[in-house]
A and B are shown apart, each in its own frame.
Chain A
Amino acid sequence: MADSLNAYLYVGAILFALGMLGVLVRRSLIVVLLSMELMLQGVNLTMGAFGVFNEDMGGYMLTLASLTIAASESVVGLAILVVVSRKARELYTDRMDGMKW
């Protein structure tokens, strides 16, 4: 089991789908961001697995790139979050529709 590519891909797919679910249904903006990190976990696992099983460093590289992106994304996302919370004192996604038109 540990040496079949598909097993890792299943786990990656489950993590990704769960993350997606979190992004879609949670109201707290922080948890939405966390769920996005969860999706990235799934992606990382998938790419790392491909890298290992295809014996290609490209998969490792992509994982590293997605780590970089995750770091950048969460930093900027949290900065935005801090700015928003200064105005609103709460971070519920369904109450944030000020830029509707």
Chain B
Amino acid sequence: MIEDITFVYMAVIAVLAALATVLVRSPVRSALSLVVVVFHVAGLFAVMDAMFLAVIQVMVYAGAIIVLFLFTIMLLDLRHEAGEPYLHKNQLWLGIPLAILLLVEAGWIALNTEPLAEAARGAYDAAAIAELGGTGQALAEVLFNEYLLPFEIAGVLLLASSVGALLLARRPDEDKLPDAPDPVDDVTGPDDERAEGGAAIWPTR
């Protein structure tokens, strides 16, 4: 009973917040609505007793990804004009029917989906997980045995994307200092002895 109530609350708020994410004008509010979605999806995970996923979900999405979005929004300081529409007018006629169609299809599939028969299920039912000490431990067991390669690949993917992002966002001229004009040259013209002294006292940026 209490689970059902929790489920309904989480699901309704998640959907409403998702709607807000899509429809709210300000990007910051949109991002904050997404945080709400993330929380409630984590809540749904918790209702399913998948605490590990719930916690990781909050940590990664809310704690890292959306913060990054907010951070970027604040850093960019974008120009925004009052009269600018925030929706594609002509895309709207295409997008809304398509999204509805998608929803119908996905809903229809969901309607016709049943959990596998008892015999066909995997080895990790609630009792097995509890015996291992929780979803964290159970996940660790498959992660470092059965799925070790995908795990490593995910690590490589993260490394590659962070390097790529660094390379993209870095200004090419950030590393080098601007050429300091030689203060002595301006006055006396090139003169080896004095130019040396001049270079030594010239402050860097």
A70:B60 contact, CB within 8 angstroms? yes
**Shortest distance from the beta carbon of B129 to any chain A beta carbon, whole Å:** 9
A11:B44 contact, CB within 8 angstroms? yes
A30:B72 contact, CB within 8 angstroms? yes
Q: Is A96 part of the contact surface with B, judged by Cβ < 8 Å?
A: no
CA distance A33 to B68 in the complex (A): 12
Query: When the two chains form the complex, which single residue of A5, A37, A55, A65 contacts B65, counting CB atoms closer than 8 Å?
Result: A37
CA distance A19 to B19 in the complex (A): 9
Query: When the two chains form the complex, which single residue of B3, B44, B139 contacts A3, counting CB atoms closer than 8 Å?
Result: B3
A45:B44 contact, CB within 8 angstroms? yes
Query: When the two chains form the complex, which single residue of B19, B68, B110 contacts A75, counting CB atoms closer than 8 Å?
Result: B68
Query: When the two chains form the complex, which single residue of B15, B61, B138, B143 contacts A70, counting CB atoms closer than 8 Å?
Result: B61
B31:A65 contact, CB within 8 angstroms? no
Assuming the contacts A14-B15, A26-B87, asked whether A68 and B158 have C-beta atoms less than 8 A apart, the reply is: yes
Query: When the two chains form the complex, which single residue of B18, B87, B158 contacts A27, counting CB atoms closer than 8 Å?
Result: B87
Query: When the two chains form the complex, which single residue of A11, A48, A61, A92 contacts B14, counting CB atoms closer than 8 Å?
Result: A11
B60:A19 contact, CB within 8 angstroms? no
Determine chain A's interface SS by DSSP, over half rule: helix
A81:B72 contact, CB within 8 angstroms? yes
Against A, the Cβ 8 Å flags (1 = close, 0 = not) of B1-33 are 001101110010011001101100001001100
B147:A25 contact, CB within 8 angstroms? no
A57:B124 contact, CB within 8 angstroms? yes
B122:A54 contact, CB within 8 angstroms? yes
B92:A10 contact, CB within 8 angstroms? no
A-side contacts of B94, CB under 8 Å: 24
Q: Is B83 part of the contact surface with A, judged by Cβ < 8 Å?
A: no
Assuming the contacts A18-B99, A30-B69, asked whether A38 and B37 have C-beta atoms less than 8 A apart, the reply is: yes
B143-180, CB < 8 A from A: 143, 146-147, 150, 154, 157-158, 160-162, 164-166, 168-169
B-side contacts of A16, CB under 8 Å: 102, 106
* Most chain A CB atoms below 10 A, which of B37, B64, B142: B37
CA distance A83 to B167 in the complex (A): 10
Segment of B111-119, B183-191, B197-205 engaged in the interface with chain A: B111-119
CA distance A74 to B102 in the complex (A): 24
Q: 11 new A-B pairs (CB below 8 Å) besides A30-B72, A94-B88?
A: A11-B14, A14-B15, A25-B92, A30-B30, A31-B30, A45-B44, A61-B139, A67-B57, A69-B157, A78-B68, A79-B164
